[in-house]
Structure 1
């Protein structure tokens, strides 16, 4: 009586199959996004910068990593100025930027996530002139006192700043545009400009870092309070990528880890129910 033939699989083949299955399952477990997300690391202290050890650091740097890891998305950072990064994002060569405010122009080429923190835009003045220039808005402030304002090229400070006639202000020498706040703050102390517009946290951080925190003050008029988002390229990412990241933002913002990161930078989070929205509101 003939025995039933048995198929013998070599031991090395079994091991190979196990390894392949393990690698496949590991990759699948960490691939909630359609691709490795290329994120720009801009130079905007304390949100994103290179520290004394030559390492990428900053509040937004930490939040990007934590949120993308919560979303189980692979990522990598590149470094370039913010204005160029937006052009690269529009063309699909960069996938994501952090610290973005929603504007109609950006919505044409990008998808915004839910908010992951907020920001306040203010006007820094010299401390010895604190209270000198009462005004209900920025236009009145500039026209009534003929002040000179400094701002960063290409930065977004809210609707009130955008509504100004920038060309006219430049022609009247009332608007000075430079590449960053490190260049602007010394002009304030040297009486070359009378106001520096910017993010309150960033300006305070830089002023203290430069040793001039005691010589500047915040004007009473708050220029803009806004929510900030990640902006993803429509050309290189998908709506599903935004949805995965939105779910991660919602989860991470309610965690102790999020509060710890924020407190490390001297900040508290006050999310309203409207801040954490489903991606449908931004697509």
Structure 2
């Protein structure tokens, strides 16, 4: 069965009408615009400026199953700016996203394709200086400021703690990993929250992992499932459903597991 026939059949079954089926068929006439910033092993460019990464390969393969392709921006953009561009319809999709009620107002969310956790990183030798056993402990001296990434979601517990003035007053928003690292090394903040996987890779690339920066033994913060965000301005719910079916097909075929193994090495 051709893609157009599948789309028309799905439209009939859902009762969304002929015009909606035409809009669905037009979803992928052009490559979908992807926003990104470096976050190896999830997203990164090689020396020839070609995109790679676990997130990229999974999403590109699932979109291919749906009859779509990706055209990523030729430049990186901070996460908060990507969210704004999704809201405005200047981007079609972004990856590595947590689902929140606020974001659901302007974006569709795919099925989850991986799980995420974040961790606290401090200057080397400072872990024992800050006896933190839970998030709530950052309000206690001698811990000073906690660097958090602007626009990021760190899970429900973190959101609840941010409503506590004594806790939120201890946080400082940074726009990018390098800005946060610079502030940490200069002592302007005492800790920085980074992805537990890509954060370590970033610190390795910066040449500071294990020499100037270490992970604090504070238990990792589970932020939950990770999804693809699709702009409601430029994509349809039907496109997202086709993507979801493509993702499920990758899992059934073993292609999904192969990509995971590739980046787990």
Q: TM-score range by the shorter chain?
A: 0.7 to 0.9
The 5 Å alignment of 1:73-92 reads 73-78=68-73, 79=75, 80-92=77-89
TM-score (norm. length: structure 2): 0.78
| Contact 1:101–1:227, Cα closer than 8 Å, also in 2 | yes
Distance 2:69 2:123 in 1: 45
Distance 1:34 1:144 in 2: 57
The 5 Å alignment of 1:24-43 reads 28=4, 34-36=26-28, 38-43=32-37
User: Is 1:201 aligned to 2:178, yes or no?
Assistant: no
Post-superposition shift, 1:85? Answer: 2.4
Distance 1:94 1:35 in 2: 14
| Contact 1:123–1:218, Cα closer than 8 Å, also in 2 | yes
User: Is 1:65 aligned to 2:52, yes or no?
Assistant: no
Rg comparison, structure with higher value: 1
Specify the alignment match of 1:124 in structure 2: 121
Unaligned runs of 5+ in 2: 8-23
Distance 2:161 2:215 in 1: 23
Distance 1:159 1:144 in 2: 24
Specify the alignment match of 1:49 in structure 2: 44
Alignment RMSD (CA, Å) = 3.0
Distance 2:103 2:189 in 1: 30
The 5 Å alignment of 1:193-232 reads 193-215=189-211, 216-232=214-230
SS of alignment partner, residue 248 of structure 1 = helix
Specify the alignment match of 2:10 in structure 1: none
TM-score (norm. length: structure 1): 0.73
Post-superposition shift, 1:258? Answer: 2.3
Q: 1:94 to 1:41 in 2, by over 3 A?
A: closer
Specify the alignment match of 2:255 in structure 1: 257
| Contact 1:29–1:72, Cα closer than 8 Å, also in 2 | no
Distance 1:224 1:120 in 2: 4
Distance 2:46 2:263 in 1: 15
Post-superposition shift, 1:105? Answer: 0.4
| Contact 1:149–1:193, Cα closer than 8 Å, also in 2 | yes
Match of 2:147 among 150, 156, 159: 150
Q: 1:220 to 1:66 in 2, by over 3 A?
A: same
Match of 1:101 among 98, 112, 118: 98
Specify the alignment match of 1:235 in structure 2: 233
Unaligned runs of 5+ in 1: 1-24, 268-283
Larger CA deviation: 183-192 vs 109-118: 183-192
Post-superposition shift, 1:29? Answer: 8.9
| Contact 1:34–1:237, Cα closer than 8 Å, also in 2 | no
Post-superposition shift, 1:116? Answer: 0.9
